[in-house]
Chains A and B, each alone.
Chain A
Amino acid sequence: MIEELAVGDKRKKLIYAGQMHFVHWLIVLLSLVLTFSAWYYSKSQLAQKLEAKFQRNAEQVVDLVKERMGLYENALWGGVAFIDSVDTDITYTQWLAYSNSLTIDQTYPGINGIGIIYNIKPNQLDDYLKKQRLLRPNYALHPSHQENEYWPITYVEPAAPNKKAIGLDMAFETNRYSSIKKARDSGQAQLTAPITLVQDAKKTPGFLFYTPFYQKGLKPKNIEERRKSIVGVTYAPFIMKNLMQGTLAEKNRHVSIKISDAGDLLFDDHAEMNTSDFDSNPLFSKEINVGLYGRVWTFLIQSNMSFREEGTSNQSSFILVGGLIIDTLLLGLFLFLTRANRQALAYADEMTIALTEKTKHLEKSNNDLEQFSYIASHDLKSPLNAIKQLVSWIEEDCQDILPDDSKKHLNLLAQRSQRMMKLLNDLLDYSRINRDEFKHEQVNLKDLSQDILALLDNPNGMNLSAPDIEINIPQTPLEIVLRNLISNAIKHHDKDAGHIIISYDSNTEYHFIAIEDDGPGIAPEFHDKSMEMFQTLQSRDKVEGSGMGLAMIKRIVEHYQGSVSINSDGKRGTKITINWIKNTSSVAIKP
């Protein structure tokens, strides 16, 4: 019953293990959540990193531009310092020397030139022109305008690319004029609003950068003084495109830049540069207003395609795809395991059914066989009895008329019938072993052996000794075993007198009963054969026997979960030991 319960429990466990449960789904769900969180986290991390990078790039661009403008300012202030240090008016040659020493094209890439603009009042114009025409006879101011003063570009180096600018009067146009006045009034470096340089054939946006200088190298403290003592400005014209190339060309930028001044476009990467990296729908975009020398430049900085590529970097996709693959595998594993469990259970059930059927079948055929041998031996007995009977009647009735030979034959007939009867009886006993179940009882080994001996045909007067002890054992089976063994010992003895010694020993589990004789023994090669059915080691005419004695003993003992062993060298003596399991409550003997 306990066993069945345990089997039931195990079955329940298997059935349980054969199904997907809440826990399985929970694990799959959690791992899905985990996957998506990891994916989301990695994506947002990446986005943050990208944004930080973009900010850095944007600031870098602005810083570079500011830094570069600072450099140009210095160059211009350098020009002012030079002019301040020379007491007399600067001659064209002097300025040429100064600008050459600056090596503009190398030191200040992006600058178009560096020059001087003087502030000329109408009454000074003739003097001024005269002085300039000494070295440059064709020098003239242009274009004409209505202002009451002149701010002509006097010198600009290098001269060749700026040829058109020489003599250009800054007062002719508002942007140029207002910024130069601001420079004069403030004493600070000033930029113009976006203009188109006259020397720029492509008419692209540009601007001018002014630094004012005053009489006698002074730095007047207020506007009135500044206006009174203004002499001119050093200036640099910029073509915006060149400036940006000079400033940023070497940088491998991941951003594109658009710079405007009060709505007027100064510079646009998209318009000017290779557009393959341009992102029409940028991931990041930033507007920075930078105050630069009296102007406010608006930097519109946008991320490029290269940002987008980095933004769609495979890292998070890998996390997502990898995670989903792992989740799928996990689900697959669960499904596989539960299916394997179900299959195992189905297989076990199938096997159980097959085994049960087989067992039933075996039990039935076993029963049939027992039934058959019982009935066969039983039914064979009655005709045999009849034959014996008839033989005895013939002997009785024809005593006087039968010849001696016939009497001998009748004797043999009776003898063979007797042998067959013995065989049938043994067969019947053998088939009955499993039919009846015997209880354990107290048996005196000595009494039992002596009783058996007394009932046996013992012509030679064999001597038997057995220990006078009580053992708890099923009496009838033991009796059959002992009778067969003692009978064998007597039957097979080759001398007139002999001894049979029964000894007993035991441990916690087994009785050990040994029957030892001093007969001819059984050769070791025949030990196994002697225990087979219908096997005799001698002619049945010499020693009467059915050949079932040892086979029956073996069957009985094994039925009681014991064993039989033969110990004999085949020369003298046989010791047969029976291991008979003890009656313990834990050992249930099934019929």
Chain B
Amino acid sequence: MAKKPTDVTLLLVEDDDIDAMTIERSFLKQRIANPIVRAYDGIEALDLLRKGDVSRPLIVLLDLQMPRMGGIEFLKEIRADESLSDLVVFVLTTSKSEEDMLLSYRQHIAGYFVKGEAGEKFLDIVNVLDSYWKVVHLPG
């Protein structure tokens, strides 16, 4: 069931509009056409996923500090949910804390990005994601 890399949807779970815009701008800049679905927190993201509003294959780009339900809690939820436990999740956060990183990897994330202070770093992240879904096969 081979799908084109451009079919991969990015579920962006991020409460900060600017950060979300930065990602979107970076996609534009790098001419990446993949669809982006935005959720403001863990609860909204879970809703979208469970309703099937996000088409598969998908990759989750997850912030850790968010209102209502944070990233770590969201991770625990999807890992406990049989239909969602196969999701590939990257964490994108301002937290450099070792503890946060450790907790995230324990929930089997694919990668941990620390938000940089300038736009260039975001470009790198977007490039990584683009390369990732071009090369890596994702579950449908």
Contacts and interface: CB of A to CB of B under 8 A. Distances in A.
Interface of A: 378, 381-382, 385-386, 388-390, 392-393, 421
B118 A382 contact: no
A390 B119 contact: no
A386 B15 CA distance: 13
Given A378-B94, A381-B94, A393-B25, A386 B117 contact: no
Contacts of A378: 94
A513 B16 CA distance: 45
Contacts of A390: 18
A389 B94 contact: no
Contacts of A393: 25
Interface in B68-121: 94, 115, 117-119
B127 interface: no
A392 B16 contact: no
Contacts of A388: 117-118
A421 B116 CA distance: 12
A392 B118 CA distance: 9
Given A378-B94, A393-B25, A386 B16 contact: yes
Contacts of B115: 385
B30 interface: no
A307 B9 CA distance: 131
Interface string B1-37: 0000000000000001011011001000000000000
A386 B19 CA distance: 7
A393 B25 CA distance: 9
A389 B94 CA distance: 15
24 contacts: A378-B94, A381-B94, A381-B117, A382-B16, A382-B19, A382-B94, A385-B18, A385-B94, A385-B115, A385-B117, A386-B16, A386-B18, A386-B19, A388-B117, A388-B118, A389-B18, A389-B21, A389-B22, A389-B119, A390-B18, A392-B118, A392-B119, A393-B25, A421-B117
A388 B115 CA distance: 13
A434 B25 CA distance: 39
A214 B18 CA distance: 169
A348 B89 CA distance: 59
Nearest to A436: B98
Nearest to A392: B119
A566 to B, nearest CB: 32
A390 B19 CA distance: 10
B14 to A, nearest CB: 11
Nearest to B17: A386
A381 B25 CA distance: 21
A390 B16 CA distance: 13
A390 B20 CA distance: 12
A385 B94 CA distance: 10
A378 B21 CA distance: 21
A388 B22 CA distance: 11
A382 B15 CA distance: 12
Most buried by B among A388, A389, A392: A389
Nearest to A386: B18
A414 to B, nearest CB: 10
Contacts of B18: 385-386, 389-390
A366 to B, nearest CB: 20
Q: Which of A385, A386, A388, A421 has the most CB of B within 10 A?
A: A385
Contacts of B16: 382, 386
A390 B118 CA distance: 11
